[in-house]
Structure 1
Amino acid sequence: MGGIRFYFCLILHISVFHYNDAAVRFANYYANHMVLQKAPAQAHIWGTGGAVGQSVTVVMDGKTVATLAANDAGVWEVLLPATVAGGPHNISVTSNGTTVSLRDVLFGDVWICSGQSNMEYSMNGIQNYSALVTTAMQRNNLRIFRLDHNAVNRPTKEPAIVFTWQAPGQDWQTDYFSAVCLIFAIELSQNLTQPFGMVETNWGGTPVEAWSSPEALAACPQQKKKRAMDPNLPSVLYNGMIAPILPMTIFGAIWYQGESNAGRPHLYACQFKAMISDWRTKFHQASKNQTSNMFPFGFVQLAPFRNTTIKAGFSDIRWAQTAEYGYVPNPTLTNVFMAVAMDLPDYDSPQGSIHPRYKEDIAARLALGARGVAYGQKNIDYQGPFPTRFSLTGQRMTIEYDNGNSDIAIRTTNGFEICCGPTESQVCQATGWIAAPISGHGPTSVTLDNSGCHGNSHIVAGVRYAWEESPCDFKKCAVYGLGTNLPAPPFVKNAPFN
């Protein structure tokens, strides 16, 4: 699952840590046309140049906002005044008679877009590409910025860059920008007026370990490390593609990854939580406490893969992605939202069935979650139905969704399974589950046929839903929200039920 690479630019890759002999400049990811984080947060900016202690003056829109001295590594840094959404603004830095400037700077919300190849999947690979780029260009408040692949064994100070900040356009940069990342911004901009700065940092085929700092990895059971340097090694992508941008003040992050960890779901449940917590802490600290230490984090619950019946792997990772609750936010993953994608198979995708082209649906579902969780908009139905009550009567099980408060739609009778045993304490293994079709439903509930449990194993010991790598045809899983068309996520529940 190597990511799509198509570079027509000189890669900017600066990883030195001492700059005493250099002329004053901004760090390489501060550039014309960028978005800085709006109020109430203060945007943290930094750069290099001049001798130790050299005076540095920072000016915004003609007004001096800070005068400071470079530190003993030749680095200067400053928090700009909290600035309301909008622009454009001009920012300049002067030291020892040299001035460098940023122009056309907008203040808005900065989002990080990270993960593996489905986050890297580019705009020109989706079916409605031209119309979406036109829409992005018409918004006038979107900016994009893409980091390059960089696997290193120590944290770098500045990232490698594919292209620096720009507005979306009819150009190769937009062609090869992350589809989920840009469409997510387009969807948000339909309902929110502030500018959005989208930072793409991803690498196809990589595991969560590569994106996690040593501190995050230490929070979970350790695996034997590989010896050769490659993008799958623990922390190497954190070092090269996350650590350098930690000083940016950001609003939130979205994540599409998990395929490469499908064989280790129980470990992933710990690692994913630890990575989110660690990113939050480190962005907060590196931005001088301006990025929230609980910034919103959205993710894509894995889409289907192969057109065959496979009960393990992706289904287990989907559960692990929710810290084994089945839904987010939850007590373990707070201020987290997700897009359920298990009903979006694309077996004929030119990029392979593991790379579905339906990024518009995924981004739209992510944006709904962001509006409800990250932006706190009221009356936003951003989640599919989730079971809240189970009851058994004879050979029937009734499952009520959302405490009976939200109507559901049934699109097929398939997708539920039960495991049987002589008692409720029967341990439900990976195998041994049998189909329990929907035999009826009400406005907010489904009734399952449990007649498959009989004889010495007549007790229902567990029930699960959509527990397959590819559980249904396109938008044809069993349960959806009636008014939202959002799919119910997979779940597993063990007895007791009544």
Structure 2
Amino acid sequence: MVLQRAPKRAIVWGFSDTNRHVTLEIGSQLYQTKSGLHPVNEFGESIWSVTLDPQPDGGPNQINVHQTLPNGTLVTLTLNDVYFGDVWICSGQSNMQMTVRDIFNGSIEIANADKYPKIRLFTAALKPSATPMEELLGIEQNWSIPSADSVGGPSWTYISAVCWLYGRMIHEALNGIPIGLVVTSWGGTAIELWMPPEPLHECGISSDERVPLQPYNELLGIRDTLNNSNLYNAMIYPFTRMVIYGSIWYQGESNADYNRDKYTCTFSKMIQTWRQIWFTRTNNNTDIQFPFGFVQLSTFRTDGRMVGGFPWIRWHQTFDVGYVPNHVVPNVFMAVALDLRDDPNLIHPRTKHDVAYRLSRAGLAVAYGQSVEYLGPIVSNVTLSNDRERIYVTYTAVSEISLRSTDGFEVCCRGERCATKDNDWEPLTFSGKTGLTITLTIRNFCARRSIYGFRYLWRETPCPFKQAPIYSTTDANLPSPPYLKVF
């Protein structure tokens, strides 16, 4: 396995009979503790916990835990081949769950897996619970060294392609620092299932609500409804005694038509709550603002005219700002994916190398402070000309913008109807680029009307593969994210 390296202090914990002495040994270091006074499970056991001194990255290490039984027998549990590095939690729904063998070039990743022995993999089983659990209810993949078997496990079982590729890419960029990847994801699940009751209530959502899993879960043989918080209880809470470096998240499809307009609240509250709980339950050893990365929703149907809920979830994923990092929730980063359509696979595009590349660049910049380009062009200003015949869009975060298409820019001049009537939005005509500013001409339809708003790539599947209009010139794999401006 991988435990969190210095400067953080990793925690090792376990179960024992109540009020018993426990000794932990790692190298020349000895730690003494006692298990708790009160049972926490059906076996009458309590929890013991040891916070290690900060450990430098590397390994392998051996951890021995000793306890003397009432009859005088010394029992020792041994953990072998333990490395210290950075631990990342990978969670979300099916696009996080989607396995390496099911993506483009997955066979290459599987064949090369054994080149990365300092990455360690773990996958939780799909189990819900009505109450928070200290221990996982099931394990799909116990701690494993990368190999053809562990990276190329059964479809939709292990290991997550986005998690593996993200971990491999940051591992290489960080000069081989050990990386622990913990996958805890479930396809077709709404965000409400991954949150404890308190933040749900703050967003005006009942914790007793039953949530249906989306129909495409049938490919996993799962047909069920779950209660809010069920997956937080069983698939997040058990990990919150483990010190981690950060988390990545790929979810939102299930909320495109379910509590869509509350997603700004639920997503921000989920991040903040996870951070607080990990900070508290690891005795302040996990950063209270630990890095949190996410994949902005990709695409679904092939009909490029469909608006639907996806654009709104993409917008709400940025807390209605249009990009991250931003001032709303700190230390958050993302990968744009709306140009990575894969029509035969619809909601499960196989283009996960591009997703992981974009997410890993952002992670290296935000979570590790590296000087790498990670943002596509970000809208810094949208203005109307004095004669209200043109819109000027100015970008930042890049040195130069590259134009691949002139489609995808829209304006609406029908007043408040624009907020709910997608058919009222009209295409804008591209008419020029000067530096980081583009000029768009408003068609005659809006003459003498009040301009309500401007939007960009506001479609479920807005463009052909890697043919969004605006990209960075210096990194051609970084598109500009979707945008909405109400004047």
Tell me how far apart the structure 2 counterparts of residues 318 and 389 of structure 1 sit (CA, whole Å): 20
Q: Report Cα offsets for 1:356-412 as digits up to 9, x if no partner.
A: 00011001111011001001112x211111111223334222211018x62100001
The equivalent residue for 1:53 is 19
The equivalent residue for 1:184 is 166
Tell me how far apart the structure 2 counterparts of residues 142 and 227 of structure 1 sit (CA, whole Å): 37
Tell me how far apart the structure 1 counterparts of residues 373 and 421 of structure 2 sit (CA, whole Å): 33
Task: Kindly state the Cα deviation for residue 462 of structure 1 after the two structures are TM-superposed.
Answer: 1.0
Sort the Cα spacing of 1:434 and 1:427 in 2 relative to 1 into closer, same or farther, 3 A: closer
Task: Kindly state the Cα deviation for residue 200 of structure 1 after the two structures are TM-superposed.
Answer: 0.4
Which region of structure 1 is more displaced relative to structure 2, 210-219 or 242-251? 210-219
Indicate if the aligned counterparts of 2:101 and 2:110 stay in contact, CA closer than 8 A.
Answer: no
Tell me how far apart the structure 1 counterparts of residues 433 and 149 of structure 2 sit (CA, whole Å): 51
One-letter amino acid matched to 1:372? A
1:164 paired with 2:131, answer no
Pairing partner for 1:83 from 22, 36, 55: 55
Q: TM-score, normalised by structure 1?
A: 0.87
1:286 paired with 2:281, answer yes
Indicate if the aligned counterparts of 2:201 and 2:207 stay in contact, CA closer than 8 A.
Answer: no
Sort the Cα spacing of 1:231 and 1:372 in 2 relative to 1 into closer, same or farther, 3 A: farther
1:310 paired with 2:297, answer no
The equivalent residue for 1:272 is 267
Pairing partner for 2:377 from 381, 385, 393: 385
The equivalent residue for 2:393 is 399
Task: Kindly state the Cα deviation for residue 428 of structure 1 after the two structures are TM-superposed.
Answer: 4.2
The equivalent residue for 1:94 is 66
Tell me how far apart the structure 2 counterparts of residues 218 and 338 of structure 1 sit (CA, whole Å): 26
- SS of equivalent residue, structure 2 residue 333: strand
Indicate if the aligned counterparts of 2:113 and 2:148 stay in contact, CA closer than 8 A.
Answer: no
Percent identical pairs in the alignment equals 40
The equivalent residue for 1:490 is 482
Tell me how far apart the structure 2 counterparts of residues 139 and 177 of structure 1 sit (CA, whole Å): 14
Indicate if the aligned counterparts of 1:90 and 1:105 stay in contact, CA closer than 8 A.
Answer: yes
Sort the Cα spacing of 1:271 and 1:235 in 2 relative to 1 into closer, same or farther, 3 A: same
1:415 paired with 2:408, answer yes
Tell me how far apart the structure 1 counterparts of residues 267 and 469 of structure 2 sit (CA, whole Å): 28
Tell me how far apart the structure 2 counterparts of residues 455 and 126 of structure 1 sit (CA, whole Å): 48
Task: Kindly state the Cα deviation for residue 456 of structure 1 after the two structures are TM-superposed.
Answer: 4.4
Q: Which runs of 4+ in 1 moved over 6 A?
A: none
Pairing partner for 1:337 from 324, 333, 336: 333
The equivalent residue for 1:212 is 195
- SS of equivalent residue, structure 1 residue 171: helix
Indicate if the aligned counterparts of 1:136 and 1:186 stay in contact, CA closer than 8 A.
Answer: no
The equivalent residue for 1:41 is 8
Indicate if the aligned counterparts of 1:411 and 1:478 stay in contact, CA closer than 8 A.
Answer: yes
Indicate if the aligned counterparts of 1:254 and 1:297 stay in contact, CA closer than 8 A.
Answer: yes
Pairing partner for 2:294 from 299, 303, 310: 299
Task: Kindly state the Cα deviation for residue 224 of structure 1 after the two structures are TM-superposed.
Answer: 8.0
Tell me how far apart the structure 2 counterparts of residues 409 and 311 of structure 1 sit (CA, whole Å): 25
One-letter amino acid matched to 1:386? I
1:261 paired with 2:255, answer yes
Pairing partner for 2:457 from 459, 466, 478: 466
Q: Report Cα offsets for 1:428-482 as digits up to 9, x if no partner.
A: 444311101312212312111112443442x322100000000000000101111
The equivalent residue for 2:235 is 241
Q: CA RMSD in A?
A: 1.8
Larger helix proportion, structure 1 or 2?
Answer: 2
Task: Kindly state the Cα deviation for residue 153 of structure 1 after the two structures are TM-superposed.
Answer: 0.3
Indicate if the aligned counterparts of 2:24 and 2:65 stay in contact, CA closer than 8 A.
Answer: yes
Indicate if the aligned counterparts of 1:369 and 1:382 stay in contact, CA closer than 8 A.
Answer: yes
Sort the Cα spacing of 1:342 and 1:452 in 2 relative to 1 into closer, same or farther, 3 A: farther
Q: Report Cα offsets for 1:19-77 as digits up to 9, x if no partner.
A: xxxxxxxxxxxxxxx00000000001101224x3321110002x243111111133210
Tell me how far apart the structure 1 counterparts of residues 454 and 482 of structure 2 sit (CA, whole Å): 11
Q: Give matches, 1:215-230, under 5 Å.
A: 215-223=198-206, 225-226=208-209, 230=224
The equivalent residue for 1:369 is 362
Tell me how far apart the structure 1 counterparts of residues 30 and 377 of structure 2 sit (CA, whole Å): 50
One-letter amino acid matched to 1:316? W
- SS of equivalent residue, structure 2 residue 90: strand
- SS of equivalent residue, structure 1 residue 460: coil
Sort the Cα spacing of 1:170 and 1:224 in 2 relative to 1 into closer, same or farther, 3 A: closer
Tell me how far apart the structure 2 counterparts of residues 487 and 164 of structure 1 sit (CA, whole Å): 37
One-letter amino acid matched to 1:435? P
One-letter amino acid matched to 2:83? L
One-letter amino acid matched to 1:240? A
Indicate if the aligned counterparts of 1:57 and 1:64 stay in contact, CA closer than 8 A.
Answer: no
Tell me how far apart the structure 1 counterparts of residues 408 and 82 of structure 2 sit (CA, whole Å): 50
The equivalent residue for 1:17 is none
Indicate if the aligned counterparts of 2:93 and 2:186 stay in contact, CA closer than 8 A.
Answer: yes
The equivalent residue for 2:185 is 202
Sort the Cα spacing of 1:60 and 1:174 in 2 relative to 1 into closer, same or farther, 3 A: farther
- SS of equivalent residue, structure 2 residue 451: strand
Q: Report Cα offsets for 1:263-292 as digits up to 9, x if no partner.
A: 232201100000000000111111111111
> Structure 2: where are the runs of 5+ without partners?
40-45, 69-73, 213-223
Tell me how far apart the structure 1 counterparts of residues 86 and 290 of structure 2 sit (CA, whole Å): 12
Indicate if the aligned counterparts of 1:210 and 1:233 stay in contact, CA closer than 8 A.
Answer: yes
Tell me how far apart the structure 2 counterparts of residues 399 and 418 of structure 1 sit (CA, whole Å): 12
Tell me how far apart the structure 2 counterparts of residues 228 and 280 of structure 1 sit (CA, whole Å): 24
> Structure 1: where are the runs of 5+ without partners?
1-33
